[in-house]
């Protein structure tokens, strides 16, 4: 029996996540929470048979117990996340944070999902779309040899960046840079995001530059990068290496493209897919733990 879940935030990310969750064997999306009764996301959720509220988190809390909600995804904004997470965790609901608030530990599935097993965490953070797209590559280099500095450039189509992302642009750069260090394994990290309004919209592009401490082992890094690409492709099939790795002294540059499945926004919005697919994969791992009894959810006062 799948684990019941609530989706908070009915914007681009929340709606795309809902469509993916409806296909999951381990996660059963029951509630969709928004703040605008007429939003496209809530309309789609209602049509898909979910319960909906446009009263924000307050509209959900009274129903958690009756509907046995054990996992909540928060796809609102960094500013709202803390207020959402507190009452959920206090009621023993595990929170998967898709905002850059980063209250809980970072999770980038192909790099550190297994590290979260058995930790009894009640809040994990999915970094950012740019982080999900690039940190696996930073890790692919840093598992071969020491990376002194890593920098990522994420370029997304303007149409795929909703108001939350736009208001949170500083949080995006800070959170991504932090996770490039903590999860990617670089001593120092930097993140840059660009919104490009071109029509037709461009497919998400991501560039990863690393500076290795010593001369890069080209063969080992190239093999590691290709192996990691295959790992990401398991849950985001449109994750592709466009160019590189390019070696220039101690610089290693990797040029990526992320094409989405077109679940909510069209295929160009790979930034949605890589975030929602990573969040769902993370939730499914926790669901397996809940189902086999190895994870008992406990109320936490954050």
Partner 1 sequence: MNLKGRKVVLHDMSLRDGMHPKRHQISLEQMVNVASALDAAGVPLIEVTHGDGLGGASINYGFPAHQDDEYLKAVVPHMKQARISALLIPGIGTVDHLHMAKDCGVGTIRVATHCTEADVSEQHIARSRKLGLDTVGFLMMAHMVSPEELLVQAKLMESYGANIVYCTDSAGYMLPDDVTARIAKLRAGLRAETEVGFHGHHNLAMGVANSLAAVEAGAARIDGSVAGLGAGAGNTPLEVFNAVLARMGAETGVDVYRLTDVAEDLVVPMMDHPIRVDRDSLILGYAGVYSSFLLHAKRAAAKHGVPSAEILVELGKRKTIGGQEDMIEDVALNLRDAARARAAQ
Our finding on whether 153 is near partner 1 (CB under 8 A) is: yes
Our finding on whether 197 is near partner 1 (CB under 8 A) is: yes
Our finding on whether 243 is near partner 1 (CB under 8 A) is: yes
CB of 218 to partner 1, least distance (A): 16
Distances (CA, A) of 88 to 3, 38, 95, 212, 217: 16, 25, 7, 42, 47
Our finding on whether 207 is near partner 1 (CB under 8 A) is: yes
Cβ proximity to partner 1: between 220 and 246 the closer is: 246
CB of 275 to partner 1, least distance (A): 17
Cβ proximity to partner 1: between 48 and 247 the closer is: 247
Give the C-alpha separation, 106 to 125, whole Å. 5
Which range, of 119-127, 135-143, 187-195, 260-268, touches partner 1 by CB under 8 A?
187-195
The answer to whether 221 and 252 have CB atoms below 8 angstroms apart is yes
Give the C-alpha separation, 286 to 50, whole Å. 22
Cβ proximity to partner 1: between 192 and 290 the closer is: 192
Distances (CA, A) of 36 to 20, 33, 288: 22, 9, 33
User: Which conformational region is residue 185 in: left (phi greater than 0), alpha (psi within -120 to 50 degrees), or beta?
Assistant: left
- Cβ contacts of 41 within 8 Å, gap of 6 or more: 9, 10, 11, 14, 15, 18, 32, 34
Cβ proximity to partner 1: between 28 and 77 the closer is: 77
Binding region for partner 1 (CB under 8 A): 149, 151, 153, 155, 158, 163, 166-167, 169-170, 172-174, 190, 192-198, 202, 205, 207, 209, 211, 242-244, 246, 248, 251, 253, 255
| Residues classed as catalytic | 129
């Amino acid at each position: 029996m799948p684990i019941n879940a609530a989706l908070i935030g009915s914007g681009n990310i929340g709606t795309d996540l809902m469509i993916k969750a409806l296909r999951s064997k381990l996660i059963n999306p029951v509630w969709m929470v928004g703040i605008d009764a007429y939003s496209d996301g809530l309309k789609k959720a209602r049509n898909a048979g979910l319960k909906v509220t446009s009263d924000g988190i307050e509209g959900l809390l009274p129903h958690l117990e009756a509907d046995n909600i054990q996992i909540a995804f928060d796809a609102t904004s960094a500013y709202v996340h803390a207020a959402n997470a507190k009452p959920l965790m206090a009621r023993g609901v595990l929170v998967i944070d898709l905002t850059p608030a980063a209250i809980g530990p970072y999770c980038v599935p192909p790099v550190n999902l297994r590290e979260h097993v058995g930790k009894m965490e009640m809040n994990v953070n999915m970094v950012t779309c740019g982080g999900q797209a690039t940190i696996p590559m930073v890790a692919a280099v840093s598992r071969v040899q020491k990376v002194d500095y890593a920098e990522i450039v994420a370029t997304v189509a303007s149409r795929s960046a909703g108001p939350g992302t736009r208001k949170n642009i500083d949080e995006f750069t800070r959170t991504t840079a932090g996770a490039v260090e903590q999860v990617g394994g670089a001593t120092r990290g930097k993140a840059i995001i660009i919104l490009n309004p071109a029509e037709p919209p461009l497919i998400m592009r991501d560039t990863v530059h690393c500076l290795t401490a010593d001369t890069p082992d080209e063969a080992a890094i190239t093999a590691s990068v290709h192996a990691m690409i295959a790992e990401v492709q398991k849950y985001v099939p449109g994750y592709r290496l466009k160019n590189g790795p390019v070696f220039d002294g101690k610089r290693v540059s990797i040029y990526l493209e992320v094409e989405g499945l077109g679940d909510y926004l069209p295929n160009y919005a790979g930034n949605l897919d890589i975030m929602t697919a990573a969040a769902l994969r993370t939730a499914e791992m926790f669901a397996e733990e809940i189902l086999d009894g190895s994870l008992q959810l406990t109320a936490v006062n954050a």
